[in-house]
Amino acid sequence: MENPLQLKCLNHISIVCRSVEKSVDFYQNILGFFPVKRPGSFNFSGAWLFNYGIGIHLLQSDNPDSMPKIGGINPKNNHISFQCESMALLEKKLKELNIEYVKSGVEEGGIRVDQLFFHDPNGYMIELCNCDILPVTPLPVDSIQSSCSLTNRNVRRQRQQEQQVQLQVQKIEHVVWRN
């Protein structure tokens, strides 16, 4: 697959906060992030945290009272998802901490993925899941929708690359077979 922007990985997410202090407490004590040095040249309040290979940048809202009210927990809303080891342990811990959550799940091919959804102090949704048990299966090239010209171009380029690889394999097999 092509990587036109030469991306390497997710670096951080930024979250506008009602209270940076409450958010630091949540991300540090509930989700296990740890504070890291933040550049001193910023002229606004915030905090940086890190763990699991990603950063969380907390930014103090200029007007916390104008931030959207925290609504109900809806697994179909935007969220950050963290892969977890023991869903039972997580659920027990959320209950102990009196954190309201919604249980959900998805099943595919006899594999069940369990999910827990809850809000951070700012209303951003967090998902905890055992999603790694569900295989990541690339879609066949033919199943990709062809409505976008960029997609069509990428599909054609991918097919050409696949054909070139197949030709190389056939040449190698032919040479090996002859010898």
DSSP letters spanning 113-172: EEEEEEE-TTS-EEEEE-GGGS---PPPGGGS----HHHHHHHHHHHHHHHHHHHHHHHH
Residue whose entry in the numeric block shows the structure tokens 């659920």: 91
What CA–CA distance (Å, rounded) separates 51 from 24? 13
From 2, 21, 127, 162, the catalytic residue: 127
What CA–CA distance (Å, rounded) separates 149 from 147? 7
The pair of structure tokens assigned to 157 is 């380029």
The question of whether 127 is a catalytic residue gets the answer: yes
Q: What amino acid positions are annotated as catalytic residues?
A: 127
